[in-house]
Amino acid sequence: MFLRIITPQGVKYDGQVTHVRFPAVKGLMEILDGHAPMIAAVCEGEVTVDDDVIEIGGGVLKVENNKVTIVCE
């Protein structure tokens, strides 16, 4: 699947991934390949992308057509 993380400073991540784990309002959530469409609130913290860890601020995550977009601080 394809992941894009967008902040006010620009694109923080843009590429193919196998999984994304992110802090949501009620705990950690994980998105895998082929996930159903969804929109979720993202909390400040660490996003795990395969073997990388990316620090983000709060924002919104959208999953659609095997594309994950996180718009955050």
Q: Which domains does the chain possess?
A: 2-72 (2.60.15.10)
Cβ-Cβ contacts under 8 Å for 30 (sequence gap 6 or more)? 19, 20, 21, 22
pTM of the predicted model over 0.95: no
pLDDT in tens, 9-52: 999 999 999 999 999 988 999 999 999 999 999 999 999 998 89
Res 6 pLDDT > 90: yes
What is the band of 73 on the pLDDT scale with cuts at 50, 70, 90? confident
pLDDT, position 14: 93
pLDDT at residue 51, rounded to an integer: 85
Asked whether 21 and 29 are in contact (CB, 8 A), the reply is yes
